[in-house]
């Protein structure tokens, strides 16, 4: 592959090979820390968006795959609601939502978002200035950011709505957003699901609040520990989190004297991105080429349409893998200055979906396989997290306070029939206390 970057016409950029992954291999003068989790297939760094990641990689400690998903998400947001594709009878917009999941110190999640923000600030400064809010607190607040105009029924006074309903929302503390969505009576989860679908937004208790044809992309940053602690079965079943691509990220290089990307590199990249984004906004329906359609029918769709892992948290988290592959392929194509999804765009999207699934398995750990019963999975995870001291009967009662004593007894009995789990009696001043412990058998 030529090292030269063709900035005038991004459709002519050289394509990455699939042999080896230089973005994660040691390079002369660049130290790569050891990586504790999965590594993406080099196929994900496809086309113009992949070329941009490679050019920016030496200037940031951020994980290249984190920069990639931020580019896909932000690029789709800037493109807006014009391009779409049909999956069955569902109309899918160019929207990519991702959770970048990495350790607080070593994930460099913010570095990835800031790298993309700097590039787009140079390419589309008006969008970055007005269409990049943060601080999701309620469904009503999100609707307000893209609201329609309305007329006060008492005074007859008209209020002007928001004309540009494109948003790229970056939540640097997504654990807080998760907690807000769990509050009783919160509309945030429901409104987020509407937004991912590209549907009109509204809430039942506020008839005046409405937003027609919003186009909202979302990136959330969270640590693995926080994600595991805050995820609950009701959130998975509600379908909010399978609208996100879970992406494990880790610091990819050590740059003690990093000064960021040179200004001339940012300027040149921004010039090409401005053209790509402007042209993509004029595209309508996007379809697969004949070769891509054949790949979809014969390989991708069968691979992503279920299998032996149909139950448990991992399956819930990746339940939308098949439609997400097509949606992501569309964004790859649009950012590669194409109006059709070609085979390489679909392969890139497929590789990214596989990486998201590998990320979920790595992040969720032993709970990923699941039992098929969300309450039992929740109890098992809590017992493992309690460590050697175990989880007390009183703590079980608090966790499942909406269940009666008989239901809790059946749940703990099923837990104790699972390998490695047991109940023990701890003596005390009064009645012995029951605790549940996890002690897996030695290999």
**DSSP string for 279-321:** HHTT--B-EE-HHHHHHIIIIIHHHHS--TT-SSHHHHHTTTH
The mean predicted confidence, pLDDT, of the chain is 85
Strands 215-222 and 90-93: unpaired
pLDDT at residue 309, rounded to an integer: 45
Provide mean pLDDT across the span 336-348: 97
What is the CATH class of 10-368?
alpha beta
Provide mean pLDDT across the span 34-45: 90
Residue 227 confidence class, pLDDT cut points 50, 70, 90: confident
pLDDT at residue 29, rounded to an integer: 66
pLDDT at residue 234, rounded to an integer: 54
pLDDT at residue 2, rounded to an integer: 29
Residue 349 to residue 72: CA distance in whole angstroms: 11
pLDDT above 50 for 331? yes
* Alpha-carbon distances, residue 443 vs 386, 439, 440 (angstroms): 22, 12, 9
Q: Nearest-5° angle of CA 424, CA 430, CA 434?
A: 20
Cα 317 off chain centre by? 10
Instruction: Write down the CATH number for the domain with range 374-438.
Output: 1.10.10
For 370-395, write each residue's pLDDT tens digit. Answer: 554 667 878 888 898 888 788 999 99
pLDDT at residue 262, rounded to an integer: 94
Residue 51 to residue 69: CA distance in whole angstroms: 14
For 275-316, write each residue's pLDDT tens digit. Answer: 999 999 999 999 999 999 999 999 999 888 865 445 556 676
**Domain boundaries in the chain?**
10-368, 374-438
């Amino acid at each position: 592959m030529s090292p030269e970057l063709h900035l005038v016409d991004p459709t002519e950029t050289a394509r990455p090979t699939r042999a080896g992954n230089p973005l994660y291999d040691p390079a002369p003068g660049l130290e790569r820390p050891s990586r504790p989790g999965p590594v993406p297939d080099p196929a994900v760094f496809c086309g113009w968006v992949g070329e941009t990641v490679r050019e920016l990689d030496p200037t940031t400690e951020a994980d290249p795959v984190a920069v990639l998903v931020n580019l896909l998400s932000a690029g789709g947001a800037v493109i807006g609601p014009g391009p779409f594709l049909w999956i069955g009878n569902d109309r899918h917009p160019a929207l990519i939502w991702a959770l970048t999941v990495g350790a607080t110190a070593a994930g460099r999640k913010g570095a990835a978002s800031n790298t993309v923000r700097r590039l787009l600030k140079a390419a589309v400064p008006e969008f970055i200035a007005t269409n990049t809010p943060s601080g999701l607190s309620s469904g009503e607040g999100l609707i307000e950011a893209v609201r329609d105009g309305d007329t006060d029924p008492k005074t007859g006074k008209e209020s002007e709505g928001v004309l540009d309903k494109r948003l790229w929302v970056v939540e640097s503390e997504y654990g807080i957003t998760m907690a807000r969505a769990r509050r009783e009576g919160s509309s945030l989860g429901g409104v987020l699901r509407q937004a991912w679908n590209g549907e009109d937004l509204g809430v039942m208790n506020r008839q005046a609040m409405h937003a027609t044809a919003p186009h909202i992309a979302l990136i959330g940053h969270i640590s693995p520990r926080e994600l595991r602690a805050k995820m609950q079965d009701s959130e998975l079943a509600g379908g909010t989190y399978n609208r996100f691509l879970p992406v494990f990220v880790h610091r990819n290089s050590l740059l003690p004297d990093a000064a960021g990307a040179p200004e001339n590199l940012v300027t040149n990249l921004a010039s090409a991105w401005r053209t790509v984004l402007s042209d993509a906004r004029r595209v309508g329906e996007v379809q697969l080429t004949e070769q891509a359609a054949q790949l979809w029918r014969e390989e991708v769709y069968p691979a992503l349409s279920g299998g032996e892992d149909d139950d448990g948290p991992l399956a819930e988290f990746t339940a939308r893998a098949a439609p997400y592959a097509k949606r992501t392929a569309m964004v790859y194509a649009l950012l590669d200055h194409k109006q059709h999804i070609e085979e390489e765009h679909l392969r890139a999207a497929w590789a990214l979906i596989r990486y998201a699934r590998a990320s979920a398995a790595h992040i969720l750990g032993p709970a990923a396989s699941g039992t098929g019963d969300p309450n039992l999975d929740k109890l098992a995870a809590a017992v493992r997290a309690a460590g050697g001291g175990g989880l007390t009967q009183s703590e079980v009662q608090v966790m499942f306070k909406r269940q009666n004593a008989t239901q809790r007894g059946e749940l703990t009995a099923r837990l104790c029939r699972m390998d490695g789990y047991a109940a023990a009696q701890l003596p005390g001043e009064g009645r012995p206390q029951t605790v549940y412990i996890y002690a897996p058998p030695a290999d």
